[in-house]
Amino acid sequence: MSDTNYRIQGATGEWEVVVGLEVHAQVTSNAKLFSGAATAFGAEPNTQVSLVDAAMPGMLPVPNRECIRQAVRTGMAIDAQINRWSRFDRKNYFYADLPQGYQISQLYHPLVGEGAVEIEVEDATKTIGVERIHVEQDAGKLMHDQHPTRSYVDLNRSGVALMEIVSKPDMRSPAEAGAYLTKLRAILRYVGSCDGNMDQGSMRADVNVSVRRPGDPFGTRTETKNVNSVRFVMAAIEHEANRQVEVLEAGGAIVQETRLFNPDTGATRSMRSKEDAHDYRYFPDPDLLPLVLDDAFLDECRASLPELPDAKRARYEALGITRYNAEVLTAEVETARWFDTLLQAGAAPVAAANWVTGELFGALNRLDKDITQSPVTPGQAAELLALVADGTLSGSLAKQVFEAMLETGDAPGKIVEERGLKQTSDTGAIEAVIAEVLAKNPNQLAQYRGGKEALFGFFVGQTMKAMQGKANPQVVNELLKKALA
């Protein structure tokens, strides 16, 4: 995709937007990065805090192997360089929710090096570079709405493991940033290294934006912190880029600073001047040895990777499923797993894909449920599709059976037997009904035989109505053609 697709038209000419994202993804782990404290979401404040998390004197951190494993698997999923030797650093700053007075991170020697994520925007592909993935501990949380004059500190998140996934400044539009974040979230959820629940704070993005004249060097960037949805990331880029253009065209200069995004107004505001690395006085953490990864550990990580979204989509397309349906079915890992189970139960791929993206998704939308809450199991769906394929059910009867399945949870075969919904291909019975339909509609019959062939659908509809939708449509069509001739 051409980088010239998105431009801001200012009073003095065109401006190009340059975007990079730093995505903070909470690692899927039952314990924190350097302690055994729990990481469950929604716990009462300060109930998941170990002595290490609270920075009690003499408490030493011990790396959580599972957190390192998940970060390595994530790196492998984006075909990134895995560094066999990495090291933790102390990032020194004072804040009330940081009891140690420093954050343990990885500045100089990260666990994962360069990788890439391929995105699609407007049917064109583009590769977004990933500069690094490093592992670090999260800070606590300040709570300002509990008391009119005081702020409280909740240390439940203190020490929770994060992967900071730093992109290169390769994105040139809000749409590209949205596509990148969506794709990255899908990969993390397929791998199982992060649940991707942005509304719960387990995945959030710092958005770096600058503008320049096309072809010029990069401009001064601002960083908008902790944006927690794809839509908000795109809105923040849109607002911030336009703000910078207005400043520059008015003769001003962009200040390198940290900003906050207001989801209610769609605007960003200044928070503080942007610190550089030297402001944090990084130095190697003396309490932690370097991480050294051996072949056995790397082999285990690689072997544990699942089929990833792009590979799964390609497999679906090879089965004859349309590209659009394949993209829909692989967008969320739960949907892909549900569909794979449906195929394993024997459903024909193309018919199954059409049914899932049409009938099932429509029903779940009406019920305000997602695929994990579906009242119909993949096995039941496979049975329903088989009844259609072998001629037991017509399309209209299948819809009736499906509605009954949603209401009762019963298997389709049971519903067909109990309600007498089996499709009939009895030519004698169908011919008798056709004769009645033609006899009741002499005017339409005369018009049809006079050349108005569009009325054929009218006769099909009347026949199916008279047989309560239980006639085999193919047999009805064949017998009607003979009768009308």
* pLDDT tens profile 216-249: 999 999 999 999 999 999 999 999 999 999 999 9
Q: How far is CA 133 from CA 72, 170, 184, 465, 472, in A?
A: 9, 16, 12, 62, 59
**C-alpha–C-alpha distance, residues 233 and 451, integer Å:** 60
Instruction: Report the pLDDT value the prediction gives residue 145, as an integer from 0 to 100.
Output: 84
Detail the DSSP E strand segments found in 122-185.
124-137, 141-143, 152-154, 161-167
Structure-model confidence comparison of residues 333 and 430, the more confident one: 333
* pLDDT tens profile 256-286: 999 999 999 999 999 888 777 778 899 999 9
Cβ proximity of 211 and 244 under 8 Å: yes
Per the listing, tokens 């960003």 go with 268
Instruction: Report the pLDDT value the prediction gives residue 1, as an integer from 0 to 100.
Output: 40
Identify the weakest region by mean pLDDT among 28-37, 325-334, 457-466: 457-466
Residue ranges of the alpha helices (H) in 41-197? 65-77, 174-191
Phi, psi of 63 (to 5 degrees): -60, 140
Question: Residue 129: CA atoms inside 13 Å, Cβ hemisphere, count?
Answer: 8
Per the listing, tokens 């001629």 go with 391
In the CATH scheme, what architecture does the domain 427-484 have? Answer: Orthogonal Bundle (1.10)
Phi, psi of 272 (to 5 degrees): -165, 165
Q: Is 38 helix (H, G, I), strand (E, B) or coil?
A: strand
Compute how many other C-beta atoms are within 10 angstroms of the C-beta atom of residue 36: 12
Residues whose CB is less than 8 angstroms from the CB of residue 462 and which lie 6 or more positions away in sequence, other chains included: 437, 440, 441
Burial (Cβ within 10 Å: 0-12, 13-18, ≥19) of residue 481: exposed
Q: How confident is the model at residue 424 (pLDDT cuts 50, 70, 90)?
A: low
Instruction: Check residue 141 and report its DSSP letter.
Output: E
The residue type found at 370 is D
Cβ proximity of 394 and 469 under 8 Å: yes
Residues whose CB is less than 8 angstroms from the CB of residue 250 and which lie 6 or more positions away in sequence, other chains included: none
Q: What is the mean pLDDT of residues 58-70?
A: 97
Instruction: Report the pLDDT value the prediction gives residue 223, as an integer from 0 to 100.
Output: 96
Detail the DSSP E strand segments found in 172-320.
203-212, 222-227, 257-262, 267-273, 283-284, 291-292
Residue 184 C-alpha from the chain's centroid: 8
* pLDDT tens profile 341-359: 999 999 999 999 999 999 9
Q: What is the mean pLDDT of residues 392-420?
A: 88
Bridge partner list, 318: none
pTM of the shown model: 0.87
Cβ proximity of 194 and 202 under 8 Å: yes
Look up residue 179 and give its two tokens: 């596509």
Q: Look at residue 426 and tell me whether its pLDDT is greater than 70.
A: no
**C-alpha–C-alpha distance, residues 183 and 174, integer Å:** 14
* pLDDT tens profile 401-410: 999 999 999 9
**C-alpha–C-alpha distance, residues 434 and 380, integer Å:** 34
Q: What is the mean pLDDT of residues 79-100?
A: 95
Q: Look at residue 162 and tell me whether its pLDDT is greater than 80.
A: yes
Q: How confident is the model at residue 201 (pLDDT cuts 50, 70, 90)?
A: confident
**C-alpha–C-alpha distance, residues 459 and 457, integer Å:** 5
Q: How far is CA 12 from CA 214, 248, 415, in A?
A: 13, 10, 69
Bridge partner list, 90: 104, 283
Q: What is the mean pLDDT of residues 289-294?
A: 97
**C-alpha–C-alpha distance, residues 180 and 176, integer Å:** 6
* pLDDT tens profile 438-473: 888 888 888 888 888 888 888 888 887 887 777 777
Cβ proximity of 245 and 211 under 8 Å: yes
Structure-model confidence comparison of residues 272 and 70, the more confident one: 70
Opening angle at CA 210, ends 205 and 211, nearest 5: 140
- Radius of gyration in angstroms for the set of CA atoms belonging to the chain, rounded to a whole number: 30
Strand order in the sheet with 89-92: 102-105, 89-92, 283-284
Instruction: Report the pLDDT value the prediction gives residue 259, as an integer from 0 to 100.
Output: 96
Q: How confident is the model at residue 423 (pLDDT cuts 50, 70, 90)?
A: low
Give the dihedral of Cα atoms 238, 243, 244, 248; nearest 10 deg: 140
Compute how many other C-beta atoms are within 10 angstroms of the C-beta atom of residue 341: 15
Residues of the chain with CATH 1.10.10.410: 427-484
Q: What is the mean pLDDT of residues 24-30?
A: 97
Q: What's the N-to-C CA distance of the chain in angstroms? A: 56
**C-alpha–C-alpha distance, residues 67 and 73, integer Å:** 10
Q: How confident is the model at residue 480 (pLDDT cuts 50, 70, 90)?
A: confident
Quick one: which of 24, 27, 75, 16 has its CA closest to 206? 24
Quick one: which of 100, 204, 112, 214 has its CA closest to 158? 100
Helix crossing, 395-408 with 412-419: angle to 10°? 110
Cβ proximity of 260 and 271 under 8 Å: yes
* Mean of pLDDT over the chain: 92
Structure-model confidence comparison of residues 75 and 459, the more confident one: 75
Instruction: Report the pLDDT value the prediction gives residue 481, as an integer from 0 to 100.
Output: 85
